[in-house]
Amino acid sequence: MDAHTQLLLHHCDSRGVHTLTLNAPRSFNVLSEAMMRELQAALDAVAVDSKARVVVIAAEGRAFCAGHDLKQMRAKPELAYYQTLFATCSRLMMSVRKLEVPVIARVQGLATAAGCQMVAQCDLAVAAQEATFGVNGIDVGLFCATPSVALSRNMLPKQAMEMLLTGDFISAEEAKSRGLVNRVVAADALDAELASLVERLLSKPREALAMGKALFYRQLETGMESAYQLAGQSMACNMVHEVAQEGVQAFIEKRSPHWPV
């Protein structure tokens, strides 16, 4: 298969920035079975790359991702098939969560249903002003249950429920105000804004980011007392690590830290 027919383009630069680009613009980058297989393989590859620093999930064309492939789903009206399909998608989303490095969604257009779920699942998101977001499965009689998991962990419950129950779309600015994306810029400034955010992450020590990401999501799923116990243990482990020792010493000596490679 040549590069022009690949559903997913995977590029890694010399800094350890992996860019995964959904490359099926004519089908609005739907999460077909094949697309999910390729995306899962790419995430699995990043997970074992000790030099990986950041992952960017991007897309070609007018849409970021229009969710699952409804034609493919309708062709196999069997409970076992649907259970496997949604389990596959859930594994994909959890792979984003479990990666040690930050994952950024670069949203240039429509993100709906499982596509909106992908944006919500990423650690950070940068969107063009033209981007729109929705979980509109309800319009075809299918409540977006799996997207609701990620969406409800980004937004206040009533904000998420309104989108899920009505199927209404929101603008990029509204998505920012609700906590779904971090930054919204003009389309021609999207790559520059993304590059700025990537540079900020690359300037931080990988080990500290990895420990922080793991702790952040673990503590969200527990009570406050347990969360403080987890956080205290994480900070203690972080503090004895060489990156924090160097960072604190640099602060004391009023110089820039020299992070270990």
Taking only the tens place, the pLDDT of each residue in 219-230 is 998 988 988 888
pLDDT at position 233 is: 85
Query: Quick check: 127 and 79 in contact, CB under 8 A?
Result: no
Query: Quick check: 59 and 27 in contact, CB under 8 A?
Result: no
Global pTM?
A: 0.92
Query: Quick check: 119 and 132 in contact, CB under 8 A?
Result: no
What is the mean pLDDT of each successive set of 10 residues along the chain, which is 261 residues long? 71 97 97 97 97 98 96 91 94 96 98 97 98 95 93 96 97 98 98 98 96 94 86 83 86 88 71
pLDDT at position 5 is: 67
- pLDDT (tens digit per residue) in 169-218: 999 999 999 999 999 999 999 999 999 999 999 999 999 999 999 999 99
Domains and CATH numbers, the chain: 8-202 (3.90.226.10), 206-252 (1.10.12.10)
